[in-house]
C-alpha cells in the first residue's frame, strides 16, 4: 500500500478524527503505523541538560525560566568530558540517540564552539546526535550541521493562536524561522508540542495541523504531556483526560505517517497500560533515562521491563524499516 504524505490538513478534518469512537481512531492509527514501521520497534533517545535554568524566556510551562521560582538549581554549561561521560552511560544502557538541551533563548557566539565540540565527540561514540538550544540563525544552524549534528529539536509547542497565551518573550514566527534555518542547513527536524496546557480540543487539532503542514514533516515529533512544575504559571491547571492524550498521539500518527512520534514528557505519571495504548496508537519513540531535562522520567529498569512485557525492541536507527513507498 502507498501512503500519501499530506501538507494540506484542514482543522475540521483533524477535529473529525478527534470525534471518532476511541477504538475506531486507534484502529485507523495502528493500521497506518504498520504501513511504514515495524510496530514492535521503539526508537530510544536519552536527554541531557547541558546548561540548566536561568533562562530569560517566560514559557509558562517551563521550570527553567528565571522568571519563576521553581525547584531548578541553575547550572552553567557542562564540560565536554562531563557530557561524554553521560553519553557513554546512555549508550551502555541502550539509547541510540543522545539529545543535548540548553536553557537558552538562543546560543551565544562564545557557546557555540563548546557545543560543536560536544556534538563531534558524542557522534564519534557512534550515537545519533540531537540538540535543543533555542533559536538559531542560519550560520548557527550550518555550524551545528558541520559538527555532525543529526537532529535539531525546536518545538512549536501549541496551536498558533494559543502560543501568545503561553510565551510572551518570543513569537510563533520566531519558532518557524528557526525551523526554516534548521531545514536549510540539512539537519533533520525534531518538532512537536505540549498538550495539557489548558488548550481546547480545537487548539490540539491546531497544533497537529501546524506540524503536519510544515514544508516537510518533522522527522521526529515529540508529544509532551505537560509536567506541572511547582512555581510555573501552569502548575495546578486541570489535567488533560488520559484518553484525549492517546487520541492526540493517534492523530499525530495519522497526519504524519512517516514520522517518528515520541511519547515524551509526562510518562512518569502514566500507568503502563496508558503507555501501551500510546504505542498502540502509533507512538514509536521514548525518552529513556531517569531524568528528562530537570524533571523525573521512569527508571531504566522499569522501561526495560515494560519493553519485555509488551514485546517491544529498540529501533536500531530511526527509519530503517521502510515497508512501503512514500509519495510526497
Active site residues: 55, 59, 62, 99, 130, 190, 262
d(CA 187, CA 182): 6
- Four-residue CA torsion sign, 111, 118, 95, 43: positive
Shortest reach from residue 154's CB to ligand SAM, in Å = 5
How many amino acids of this chain bind ligand SF4 (CB under 6 A)?
9
The C-alpha cell that represents 189 in the structure block: 527536524
Please list every residue from 104 through 123 that binds ligand DTB, using CB under 6 A.
none
DSSP letter at 78 equals P
Enumerate residues 6+ apart whose C-beta is below 8 A from 124. Answer: none
Q: Confirm if 157 and 182 have CB atoms less than 8 A apart.
A: no
Per CB under 6 A, 127 contacts ligand SF4: no
Shortest reach from residue 258's CB to ligand SAM, in Å = 22
Distance of CA 262 to the CA centre of its chain: 6
The C-alpha cell that represents 283 in the structure block: 507512538
3-state secondary structure of 190: strand
Taking CB under 6 A as the criterion, the residue among 194, 195, 205, 256 binding ligand SAM is 194
Please list every residue from 240 through 299 that binds ligand DTB, using CB under 6 A.
264-265, 292-295
CB under 5 to 8 A by kind: which of ligand SAM, ligand SF4, ligand DTB, none does 129 bind? none
Per CB under 6 A, 128 contacts ligand SF4: no
Stretch that binds ligand SF4, among 42-50, 62-70, 141-149, 239-247 (CB under 6 A): 62-70
d(CA 59, CA 232): 9
Q: Which helix (H) or strand (E) holds 308?
A: helix 300-310
Specify the residue, 28 or 253, whose C-beta has the smaller distance to ligand DTB: 253
CB under 5 to 8 A by kind: which of ligand DTB, ligand SF4, ligand SAM, none does 140 bind? none
How many amino acids of this chain bind ligand SAM (CB under 6 A)?
18
Q: Which residues bind ligand SF4 (CB under 6 A)?
A: 55, 57, 59, 62, 64-65, 103, 105, 134
Amino acid at each position: 500500500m502507498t501512503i500519501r504524505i499530506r501538507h494540506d490538513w484542514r482543522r475540521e478534518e483533524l477535529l473529525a478524527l478527534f470525534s471518532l469512537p476511541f477504538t475506531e481512531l486507534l484502529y485507523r492509527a495502528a493500521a497506518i503505523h504498520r504501513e511504514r514501521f515495524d510496530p514492535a520497534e521503539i526508537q530510544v533517545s536519552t536527554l541531557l541538560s547541558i546548561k540548566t535554568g536561568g533562562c530569560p524566556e517566560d514559557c509558562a510551562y517551563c521550570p527553567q525560566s528565571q522568571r519563576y521560582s521553581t525547584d531548578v538549581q541553575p547550572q552553567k554549561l557542562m564540560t565536554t568530558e562531563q557530557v561524554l561521560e553521560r553519553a557513554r552511560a546512555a549508550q551502555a544502557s541502550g539509547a541510540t540517540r543522545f539529545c543535548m538541551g540548553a536553557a537558552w533563548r538562543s546560543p551565544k557566539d562564545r557557546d557555540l564552539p563548546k557545543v560543536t565540540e560536544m556534538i563531534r565527540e558524542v557522534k564519534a561514540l557512534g550515537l545519533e546526535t540531537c540538540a535543543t538550544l533555542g533559536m538559531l540563525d542560519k550560520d548557527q544552524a550550518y555550524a551545528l550541521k558541520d559538527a555532525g549534528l543529526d537532529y535539531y529539536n525546536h518545538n512549536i509547542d501549541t496551536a498558533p493562536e494559543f502560543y501568545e497565551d503561553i510565551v510572551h518573550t518570543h513569537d510563533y514566527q520566531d519558532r518557524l524561522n528557526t525551523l526554516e534555518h534548521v531545514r536549510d542547513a540539512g539537519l533533520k527536524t525534531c518538532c512537536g508540542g505540549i498538550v495539557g496546557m489548558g488548550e481546547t480540543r480545537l487548539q490540539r487539532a491546531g497544533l497537529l495541523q501546524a506540524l503536519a503542514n510544515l514544508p516537510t514533516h518533522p522527522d521526529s515529533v515529540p508529544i509532551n504531556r505537560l509536567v506541572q512544575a511547582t512555581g510555573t504559571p501552569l502548575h495546578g491547571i486541570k489535567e488533560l483526560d488520559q484518553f484525549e492524550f492517546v487520541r492526540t498521539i493517534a492523530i499525530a500518527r495519522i497526519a504524519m505517517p512517516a514520522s517518528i512520534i515520541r511519547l515524551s514528557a509526562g510518562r512518569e505519571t502514566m500507568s503502563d497500560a496508558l503507555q501501551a495504548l500510546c504505542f498502540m496508537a502509533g507512538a514509536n519513540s521514548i525518552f529513556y533515562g531517569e531524568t528528562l531535562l530537570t524533571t523525573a522520567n521512569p527508571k531504566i529498569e522499569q522501561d526495560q521491563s515494560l519493553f519485555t512485557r509488551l514485546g517491544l525492541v529498540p529501533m536500531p536507527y530511526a527509519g530503517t524499516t521502510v515497508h512501503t513507498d512514500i509519495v510526497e
